[in-house]
Structure 1
Amino acid sequence: MLLNGAEIVIACLKEQGVDTVFGYPGGAILNVYDALYKHREEIRHVLTSHEQGAAHAADGYARATGKAGVCLATSGPGATNLVTGIATAYMDSIPIVAITCNVGVSLLGKDSFQEIDIAGITMPITKHNYIVKDITKLADTIRKAFQIAKSDRPGPVLIDIPKDITANQTEYTPVTVNTEGIKTVSVSEEEVEAAVQMIEAAKRPYIFVGGGAVLSGASKELKEFVDKVDAPVTDSLMGKGAFPGTDPRYTGMLGMHGTKTSNYGVSGCDLLIVAGARFSDRVTGNTEKFARKAKILQLDIDAAEMNKNVVITQGVVGDLKETLKRINEKLPKQSHPEWLARIREYKEKYPLKYHQDTLTGPFIIEEVYRQTNGEALLVTEVGQHQMWAAQYYKYTKPRTLLTSGGLGTMGYGLGASLGAKCGCPDKTVINIAGDGCFRMNMNEIATAVRHHIPIVQIVVNNHVLGMVRQWQDLFYDERYSATVLRDAVDFVKLAEAMGAKGIRAQTQEEFAEALKEALSCDCPVVIDCQIGADDKVWPMVAPGAAISDAFDEEDMEE
């Protein structure tokens, strides 16, 4: 059949099973939006308030559903506004396809109005990108883009289409495509055997779970693996929910704001088994002092991660789900009662603690857990509230904590929560933000209202940039440079001005009531929670220190 380029874009999206796209129109992409209008009953378009919100929404949709998220933007500033969202997805290996349109082919490279080399700009932050100058190659390019985004280690792909290509016509032939993605990395039998031997020889094994366990859908295999190894389990921020946070073997997060139990346990183990994690500096602290008593066994789909940040003893390269299946088949049941008893002693001696007599970030997260029975899908911005959400909510399923781990993008969460709710309409979706982060993209509350997306937005409002101020307090002699946000902004009035419901909470009781009301309300709700400016995230590891040097408020007082 004869179609123009814009119609081919929509036809290819339908081939891929795309049901929702997020975007913002403009001159260069008008033909695509015209074609989208004709198919509006098949593909929902969510008009965000800013293109950055569209990129984050596509990311949140992908993280929540496991499918590729799609965002659209016009040329020039429209395309560049996607960049932060694309980089966020790239750092966390999230499959999104960003479709931008550019000036016509004859105008490229001539500094035309709203022209930008978006392919050049995004080259370092995409798995691959394309500029399509030949309409006969458009359909195959879109199909390749989705396959690349979802295959092996996932990530974002950008397609830039000049406007005349969206208007030109060519013959289009529908095809049936594989929408699952392809795992091309085969697991080496030799590496599996070596891994099994290392595990059998260990007396004090520890399992460290990263985001790869979520992306590969390896939760079932991971649980079986943990039972076989008989070891305690810690995770990274990105690994939350891959292994149940309610399991007795779980010891909390690892690293800068990890639990003392996990930090001390990993520092004292003789084998660290790393399942789909990349040894971020926030996890390792001083790499020269990280797990110095342990052999390290790393299981990861990306060979480039082996020996990149930490020198390992043995690696197994391949999709984590398949790798764990293979190891589970060969590994006899292990038993480490003394080691697990020592870890239980750590858990009893070093529990997470916070001040119980006032409204605090930890109380907010625990109350959310209580009222949602641990079944909510939590999204966060970046900062203190993000760490509290990681520490105090017990994630029992994968894809239930969506957060910017690698890039640390303030302003990520609200857009991502919209995408998550669109992808999982039956789930309760709650975005946890600090007041500094909320300011970044709070205009997306208008998007939630416009499209009737009933998310709950909790603002942990301490009137400062909390995490940066915490560092200033501890390491900069209380020089609070540019971190105090004492101004006249009223988030309740702001929410109401955009058509949402706004509620303010200053006490534990007020927050509990506000959350109860928000969860029963079929509309976007903003809860402004007033907490103290000096509240801190504990424990903490100082910059350049070993994770075994984690300290908390009691250590500071002593």
Structure 2
Amino acid sequence: MAHIGDLVAEMLAQYGVEYVFGMPGGQTTALHDGISRRNDRIQHILMRDERNAAYAADAYARLTGKPGVCDVTVGPGANLLPAGFLEALNASIPMIGIVGELPLDWLPLKDKGIASQGFDQLSFFKSCSKDAWLVPSVAALPELIRTAFRVATSPRPGPVALLIPHDIFDADWDEEKLTIRVDDRSRQAPYLRSNAPADDIARAAALIRKAKRPALVCGGGVHGSDAAGTVTAFADRFGGLVVTSLSGKGSVPETRPYAAGVLNPLGSWAAIELIQEADLIVWCGSKVSQNTGMNWTLPKPDQATITIDCDPLEHGRTFRPTVPLLGDVREIIAALGAALSEDFTGTRPDWEARIAAVKADGEARKAEEIAADTVPISPPRVMDEIARRLGADDVIVSDASFAAGWIAGYIPAKKPGRQFVYARGQGALGYSVPGAIGAAATRPDVRIVTVAGDGAFSYTVGELVTQAQNRQRIVNVVINNGKLGWIQLWQELYFNNPQSVELETQSLKPGFAAAAEGLGLKGFYVERPEEIGAALDAAFAHDGPSVVEVRIDDRATPIHSFKRRLKDGSDKARPRPGTVYKLRDWKISPDL
């Protein structure tokens, strides 16, 4: 007779889940046993750290739209998931964590680990997920699995946890008495699509027609709705500026004349300059977070606004929009395009000329940085060399800190779609290496490239073994400055006293390329600009994972305010930015 691990594995397979990322434990062995009998439809990828299982599942979900599934055992396995869960929760990524639990009747023995590894896991996961459930019986399990998929994929998507007690996992499954069914609507996010009322669509279309300097800001919700193609078609007729958040990069091709790059303090200079001049901002699938809202200085009091979001709570969090459009991004953008009428071209010669001029200025600045032959190497030079080698469908996985800005500003999105994976829900160091494992699992025929600083790379270097074990075609680029670069500059600029930021000493310089060789990967070390191309060519040609370690300038930063301060001189500490702690006044957007 089959067991409940077979039931769980079968339901996952019927939901279209190809991979489960995690680490087995005694309490969850039944799951892995069930998966092993269905390897033609579903496989398990062994991670070296449970936290990284969530990151791999997160990247899988971003690139497929399906819930990423990870599994951990009770106690020490479970308590490592929240880093990835919080990333997915804040970024609206569908994820399902299958969590082992002590037997049901051991409830009084959980406290203080009286029963080995026990603690209150349900309350724990309730605090870092969209929802969490403890399975109370074998009979309830199929319905709770259906619920988990429905909740994970429904607007607003997010991570959920399903805690399955050991005695339930190991129980027998009588397939005739306990039948299973899946809801095919929740195999992929969004679970259901909705549209805004026609009157609101008409009001928004009228604002767009009336605007002289409109701007469209595309967030991660564009990709969550699988709407990049629809948004690009709309942007081609919009007649205005288009910028994106980090998570929204690829919503439109950045090769279009109207596209000015990423709106973020470490993003595009042109995007930051031009957005200030807009008279109408359409926030499309963007929650107008601290960074995309430029510390909530956007929108300005004189800028009209349209918000497009499936979450009603986002239509008024920091400002009241002129027109709120509640519903699915793809449906609303299609309706807006229809409402603008076929003869609407959105031609605005003055605004288009201004966009072109500012972009040209920004590109000239970038070209100067890219051309630098300095030693240590300028990071823009590295990014440009990567961009030259990327195929049309290759995927970039970014780590946190400066790496995100270097990618955003110097590797353009050339086609609509999610080919740039950013961990911006939490912005935690260590995402890129495990994220690449999830990306490579779902897109094995393309090249996956990660970019991380040496600080971020150190967090999850052990997962290089997972890449090697699965022979994944991943090029891990480590831009090594020997420091926690962002923190060092912050401390220097505002305190004039850098502390605890050195990652190496004169006698100890960790070698990531050499470590990669020892772990079974190809390793390449680069110190001079003329060496970058050959190292990347060899890494891209290798049929497996590699690490390209590049020694970079520790004074380089993509943050524009940091660049200005460094140029002015930083021998004395600047006034600490107290205003960053104060939320801007809530605003009411005007009409045009």
Tell me by how many angstroms 1:151 deviates.
2.2
- Mapping of 1:357-396 within 5 angstroms? 357-358=373-374, 359-373=377-391, 375-395=393-413, 396=415
- Which consecutive segments of 4 or more residues in structure 1 shift more than 4 A? 550-557
1:321–1:385 Cα change, 3 Å: same
Instruction: Measure how far apart 1:80 and its partner are.
Output: 0.9
1:275 aligned to which of 268, 275, 284: 284
The answer as to 2:363 corresponding to 1:344 is: no
Counterparts of 1:102-501 in structure 2, within 5 Å, are: 102-111=101-110, 112-170=115-173, 171-178=177-184, 179-181=187-189, 182-183=191-192, 185-288=194-297, 290-332=299-341, 333=344, 334-351=346-363, 352-353=365-366, 354=369, 356-358=372-374, 359-373=377-391, 375-395=393-413, 396-477=415-496, 479-487=497-505, 488=508, 489-501=510-522
Deviations 1:120-172 (CA, angstroms, capped at 9, x unpaired): 11213222211101110101111221122122222111101000011223533
Shift of 1:108: 2.3
1:90-101 to 2 correspondences below 5 Å: 90-101=89-100
For structure 2, list consecutive stretches of 5 or more residues without a partner in the other structure. Answer: 571-592
Distance 2:32 2:335 in 1: 47
Under a length normalisation based on structure 2, what TM-score does the superposition of the two structures give? 0.89
Secondary structure of residue in 2 paired with 1:410: coil
Whether the 8 Å contact between 1:135 and 1:169 is mirrored in structure 2 is no
Cα drift, residue 220 of structure 1: 2.1
Distance (Å, rounded) in 2 between the aligned partners of 1:15 and 1:117: 31
Q: Displacement of 1:555 after TM fit?
A: 6.7
1:228 deviates by 2.5
Residue identity matched to 2:356? R
Answer yes or no: is 1:46 the counterpart of 2:54: no
Letter in 2 for 1:146: F
Displacement, 1:425?
A: 0.4
AA aligned to 2:541 is S
Question: Aligned AA for 1:270?
Answer: D
Superposed counterparts of 1:543-554, under 5 Å: 551=564
Partner of 2:25: 26
Shift of 1:373: 4.4
In 2, distance between residues paired with 1:435 and 1:253? 24
Deviation by residue 1:161-189 (Cα, 9 ceiling, x = unmatched): 00001122353324353123422544222
Aligned Cα root-mean-square deviation (Å): 1.9
Q: CA deviation at 1:100?
A: 0.7
SS of equivalent residue, structure 2 residue 77? helix
Match of 1:67 in 2: 66
The answer to whether the 8 Å contact 2:3/2:30 transfers is: no
Kept after mapping to 2: 8 A contact 1:65/1:424: no
SS in 2 for 1:284: coil
TM-score (norm 1): 0.94
Name the SS of the counterpart of 2:427 in structure 1: coil
Letter in 2 for 1:469: Q
1:60 and 1:420 in contact (8 A); partners too: yes
Moved more, 193-202 or 98-107: 193-202
Whether contact under 8 Å (1:23, 1:46) holds in the other structure is yes
Name the CA distance, whole Å, in 2 between partners of 1:42 and 1:242: 31
The within-5 A match list for 1:72-87 is 72-87=71-86
User: How much does 1:419 deviate?
Assistant: 0.6
Which shows bigger deviation, 112-121 or 283-292? 283-292
| Separation in 1, partners of 2:513, 2:327 | 49
Q: What's 1:533 paired with? A: 554
Q: How does 1:505-516 map to 2 (within 5 A)?
A: 505-516=526-537
Amino acid paired to 2:71: L
Q: How far did residue 34 of structure 1 move? A: 2.3
Q: 1:228 touches 1:331 (CA, 8 Å); kept in 2?
A: no
Counterpart of 1:499, as a letter, is: G
CA offset digits 1:373-432 (Å, max 9, x no partner)? 454200011111111011111112322111111200111111010110000001110111
Distance 1:163 1:176, change over 3 A: closer
- 8 A Cα contact 2:36 2:43, kept in partner: no
The answer on whether the counterparts of 2:493 and 2:565 sit within 8 Å (CA) in structure 1 is: no
* In structure 2, C-alpha distance between the alignment counterparts of 1:345 and 1:113, rounded to whole Å: 66
After superposition, the Cα gap between the structure-2 partners of 1:552 and 1:172, relative to the gap in structure 1 and judged at 3 Å, is farther
Q: How far 1:473 sits from its partner (Å)?
A: 2.9
Separation in structure 1 between the aligned mates of residue 182 and residue 104 of structure 2, nearest angstrom:
30
Q: Which amino acid aligns with 2:355?
A: I
Provide the aligned length of Structure 1 versus Structure 2: 547
Q: Which moved more, 1:50-59 or 1:492-501?
A: 492-501
CA change 1:346–1:553 in 2 (3 A) is: farther
Contact 2:146/2:182 (<8 A) preserved: no
Is the contact between residue 268 and residue 408 of structure 2 (CA under 8 Å) also seen in structure 1?
no
Distance apart, 1:190 and its partner CA: 2.1
CA displacement at 1:268 relative to structure 2: 1.4
Change (3 A) 1:93 1:24: same
1:264 partner SS: helix
CA deviation string 1:255-296 (max 9, x = no partner):
312323222221111101111101111122342564333111
Change in CA separation of 1:186 and 1:344 when aligned onto 2, cut-off 3 Å: closer
Could you tell me the percent identity over the aligned residues? 29
CA distance in 1, matches of 2:301, 2:495: 30
Q: Which residue of 2 aligns with 1:545?
A: none
